[in-house]
Amino acid sequence: MNDIPRRAVTRSAKLAALPLGVAGRATLGLGKRIGGRPAEIVAAELQARTAEQLFQVLGGLKGGAMKLGQALSVFEAALPEEVAAPYRAALTKLQESAPPLPAATVHKVLAAEFGADWRSRFHAFSDVPAAAASIGQVHRATWTDGREVAVKIQYPGAGPALLSDLRQLSRLARVFAALTPGVEIKPLLEELLVRVKEELDYRLEAQSQETFAQAYDDDPEIHVPHVVAGGERVLVTEWIDGTPLSTIIREGTQEQRDRASLLLARFLFSGPVLAGLLHADPHPGNFRLLADGRLGVIDFGAVNHLPDGAPEPIGVITRLAIDGDAAGVLALLRAEGFVKPTIHVDADAVLRYLMPLLEPIMGPTFRFSRAWLRGEAIRLGDPRSPANQLGRQLNLPPSYLLIHRVTLGTIGVLCQLGGEAAYRSEMERWQPGFAAPRT
Q: How far is CA 374 from CA 82, 88, 135, 302, 388, in A?
A: 12, 15, 31, 27, 14
Instruction: Give the Cα separation of 172 and 58 in Å (integer).
Output: 13
* Average of per-residue pLDDT across 240-255: 95
Residue type present at position 379: R
**363 Cβ contact partners less than 8 Å away, ≥ 6 residues apart:** 424
For residue 62, pLDDT over 60 is answered with no
Tell me the whole-structure pTM to 2 decimals: 0.76
Residues 129, 139: Cα–Cα separation, whole Å: 5
Closest CA to 337 of 403, 416, 394: 394
Q: What is the DSSP letter of 157?
A: T
User: Cα–Cα distance between 359 and 75 in angstroms, integer?
Assistant: 19
Q: Is 311:403 a contact under the CB 8 Å cutoff?
A: yes
Does 201 share its domain with 297? no
Pair (50, 128) in one structural domain: no
Q: What is the pLDDT of residue 171?
A: 58
3-state secondary structure string, 104-146? HHHHHHHHHHHCCCHHHHEEEECCCCCEECCCEEEEEEEECCC
pLDDT digits 0-9 by tens, 306-322: 998 999 999 999 999 99
My answer on whether 165 and 306 are in the same domain is: no
In a shared domain, residues 292 and 416:
yes
Does pLDDT of 102 surpass 90?
no
Say which CATH number the domain at 217 has. 3.30.200.20
Confidence band (pLDDT; 50, 70, 90) for 15? very low
Same domain, 300 and 400: yes
Question: Please, what is the end-to-end C-alpha distance for the chain in angstroms?
Answer: 74
> What domain range is 365 assigned to?
243-439
Q: How confident is the model at residue 140, as a pLDDT? A: 97
Q: Which helix (H) or strand (E) holds 396?
A: none
- Return the percent helix, strand and coil in the chain, to nearest 5: 60, 10, 30
Which pLDDT score is estimated for 131? 83
**Mean pLDDT lowest for which of 92-101, 279-288, 342-351, 383-392?**
92-101
Q: Measured between alpha carbons, how far is 358 from 421 in angstroms, rounded to an integer? A: 15
Q: What is the pLDDT of residue 22?
A: 37
Specify whether 214 is located in the same domain as 224: yes
**Distance from C-alpha of 71 to C-alpha of 94, rounded to nearest angstrom:** 9
Catalytic residue among 127, 281, 299, 348: 281
70 and 135: one domain? no
Is residue 56 pLDDT above 90, yes or no?
Answer: no
Verify that 211 and 257 share a domain, yes or no: no
CA distance 392 to 57: 33
Instruction: Report the pLDDT value the prediction gives residue 240, as an integer from 0 to 100.
Output: 96
Domain final residue, candidates 194, 217, 251: 194
**How many structural domains does the chain have?**
3
The C-alpha angle 84, 88, 93, rounded to 5 degrees, equals 165
Is the model more confident about 425 or about 397?
425
The residue among 52, 64, 62 whose CA lies nearest residue 88 is 52
* CA-CA-CA-CA dihedral for 401, 405, 406, 409, to nearest 10: 170
Kindly state whether residues 108 and 120 are assigned to the same domain.
yes
Distance CA 264, CA 406 (A): 12
Of 184, 219, 238, the position where a domain reaches its end is 238
Whether residue 225 sits in one domain with residue 134: yes
Ranges of beta strands (E only) in 316-388 are 366-367
Model confidence band, residue 156 (pLDDT cutoffs 50, 70, 90) = confident
> Which tens digit of pLDDT belongs to each residue from 258-275?
999 999 999 999 999 999
Q: Cα(301)–Cα(206) distance, rounded to whole angstroms?
A: 8
Q: Check if 258 is active-site.
A: no
CA count, 13 A, side-chain hemisphere, 290: 17
Asked whether the beta carbons of 417 and 260 are under 8 A apart, the reply is yes
Is residue 124 within 8 A of residue 146, CB to CB? The reply is no
Return mean pLDDT, the chain.
79
Is 10's pLDDT higher than 60? no
Query: pLDDT per residue over 339-398, tens digit each?
Result: 989 889 999 999 999 999 999 999 999 999 989 988 888 888 777 889 888 988 888 887
Same domain membership, residue 292 and residue 165: no
User: How many Cβ atoms sit within 10 Å of the Cβ of residue 398?
Assistant: 10
Residue 189: per-residue pLDDT: 62
Judge if 338 and 403 occupy the same domain.
Answer: yes
